[in-house]
Amino acid sequence: MRLARDEEFRDYVLARHSDLLRTATLLTAGDRHLAEDLVQTTLTRLYVSWPAFQKAKNPGGYARRALVNALLAEKGRSWRRREHSVPSLPERTSPTSGGTPRTEALHQALRELPDRMRAAVVLRYFHDLSVAETAQSLGCTQGTVKSQTARALDRLRQVLDAPDTDRPDQAPVFPGETPLLPVAPVINLRRSS
């Protein structure tokens, strides 16, 4: 006989697993295997603290905070620092995430960001959270969120706007011309006037 708590948790996992995995994939800059590990860790922590989770005013924020904490804890492990993940196995020719070139370009750009900065961008622009909600999810001040996202967007602009010399489909840019990206970024990185 299953407990009501187990049924409620099962229903939550069935409803939210894909969203958590999508967020974790962005937080890990496309590392699908690490993203799956983070989701499992997060769900385990949510199950253990299920009564507190149910009482939370913002369950979505609670889950995102647990996911970010799992990422930061995972990245802080000493064995993780020695291990280097690669997006695909050496004998495979296609990336493990199986994404489009546009998605792969975004993941590569996100890899250039530190973990907390990446988390701020993912929460603000992919989850469309306010500065206050992002600060609550990350456990920091609103000023930190603003500075982290501003720096992150500047870095993403540099990476996504830079011509890639290794790609034959990237046309050379001559003085006075605007570089054309063959792959449009998912988020609008242009500053609005």
| The predicted structure's pLDDT at residue 99 | 67
Give, rounded to a whole angstrom, the gap between the first and last alpha carbons of the chain. Answer: 61
Q: What angle do CA 158, 38, 8 make, to 5 degrees?
A: 130
Other C-beta atoms lying within 10 Å of the C-beta of residue 117: 20
**Tokens matching residue 29:** 């800059």
Which residues, 6+ apart, have CB-to-CB distance to 41 below 8 Å?
70, 73, 74
Amino acid identity for residue 178 in this structure: T
Per-residue pLDDT of the chain (193 residues; tens, 9 = 90+): 468 888 888 998 999 999 999 989 888 888 888 899 999 999 999 998 888 888 888 888 888 888 988 888 887 665 444 556 666 665 544 444 456 777 788 888 888 888 889 989 988 988 888 999 888 888 889 999 999 999 998 888 888 776 654 544 444 443 444 444 433 344 545 444 4
* CATH code for the domain defined by 1-78: 1.10.1740
Which residues, 6+ apart, have CB-to-CB distance to 82 below 8 Å?
none
Which residues, 6+ apart, have CB-to-CB distance to 21 below 8 Å?
35, 36, 39
| The predicted structure's pLDDT at residue 39 | 92
> Is CATH 3.40.50.300 correct for 100-164+182-187?
no
| The predicted structure's pLDDT at residue 85 | 64
Q: 44: closest CA among 74, 76, 79, 89?
A: 74
Which residues, 6+ apart, have CB-to-CB distance to 126 below 8 Å?
23, 26, 187
Q: How far is 125 from 128, CA to CA, in rounded Å?
A: 5
| The predicted structure's pLDDT at residue 178 | 43
User: CATH 1.10.1740 spans which residues of the chain?
Assistant: 1-78
User: CATH 1.10.10.10 spans which residues of the chain?
Assistant: 100-164+182-187
